[in-house]
Amino acid sequence: MRRVPMSGWYSNTGNDPCGPVAPVTPLAPVLQQDSSVQAMVLAAGVGRRLRPLTDRIPKALVEVAGVSQLERTLTALETAGAQRIVVNIHHHAQQIESVLAGRRSASEILVSREETTPLETGGGLVHARELFRDGLPILVHNVDIITSVDLKELYEGHDSSRCLATLAVQERPTSRYLMFDDAGLQGRLDVHDGRRVDTRPIRGPVRRFAFSGIHVVSGSVFDL
């Protein structure tokens, strides 16, 4: 597991540390397409915090400065080189399907329907497994994240590592922190109830980071 703050990356696979790699700063968008990049947009959420707006439209189609969150995310992924993008849908699914059907896309966009209930991140990935190219990393992006992070560099940094997953994180206030030490991800902390989960013994100073809703997982994650 890797963390990607605005100032650098630190990583580990759990039992086998990947070690620190080069610092990362947000860069200009990469315009060159790369057929090896595949991505998933998590757009199945109900959007309870945006009610009553999301009673009539899905969170993915809520506009920010005149552009829907879905369009912003798809454009960012395509700019980063993604040529296959899977979008999972549930709440007001037909509205999203209609928008995608009418969109002129620079990528192949596939839909993963979660008919009964949203399956969250892990369940959504497994449900959409057959839509991904075997063995290639998957760039997973929450639909409600607007960022200047260089997604191409994040994807390539993960692909060149030995890590199972790479997470984009920040040093900012949150109700749920990920805990990192010198070897990488060490545990998590829930601020509301004070509950802390340590996944292994601490190795060096511990720092707290907030997950930013973007991560890359290796294709081998489905073999666990």
Token pair of 8 as six digits: 């650098």
pLDDT bucket at 174, cuts 50 / 70 / 90: confident
For 117-138, what is the mean pLDDT?
90
For 164-176, what is the mean pLDDT?
88
Alpha carbon 75 to chain centroid distance? 15
For 162-183, what is the mean pLDDT?
88
**Nearest by Cα to 92 from 54, 64, 63, 144:** 54
Give the position of tokens 């994240």. Answer: 145
Alpha carbon 71 to chain centroid distance? 16
Alpha carbon 217 to chain centroid distance? 9
Q: Kindly list the domain boundaries of the chain, sorted by start residue.
A: 1-26+150-224, 28-147
Kindly indicate whether the domain formed by 28-147 is annotated with CATH number 3.90.550.10.
yes
Alpha carbon 3 to chain centroid distance? 12
Q: Give the separation between CA 124 and CA 89, rounded to whole angstroms.
A: 9
Please report the pLDDT score of residue 7 as a whole number.
Answer: 34
Residue 104: pLDDT above 50?
yes
Rounded to 5°, the CA angle 220-197-164 comes to: 15
> If you average pLDDT over every residue of the chain, what do you get?
82
Residue 101: pLDDT above 70?
yes
Q: Is the dihedral of CA 41, 43, 47, 50 positive or negative?
A: positive
Question: Residue 66, exposed/middle/buried by CB under 10 A (0-12, 13-18, 19+)?
Answer: exposed
The pTM score is: 0.81
pLDDT bucket at 204, cuts 50 / 70 / 90: confident
pLDDT bucket at 186, cuts 50 / 70 / 90: confident
Q: Give the separation between CA 44 and CA 60, rounded to whole angstroms.
A: 8
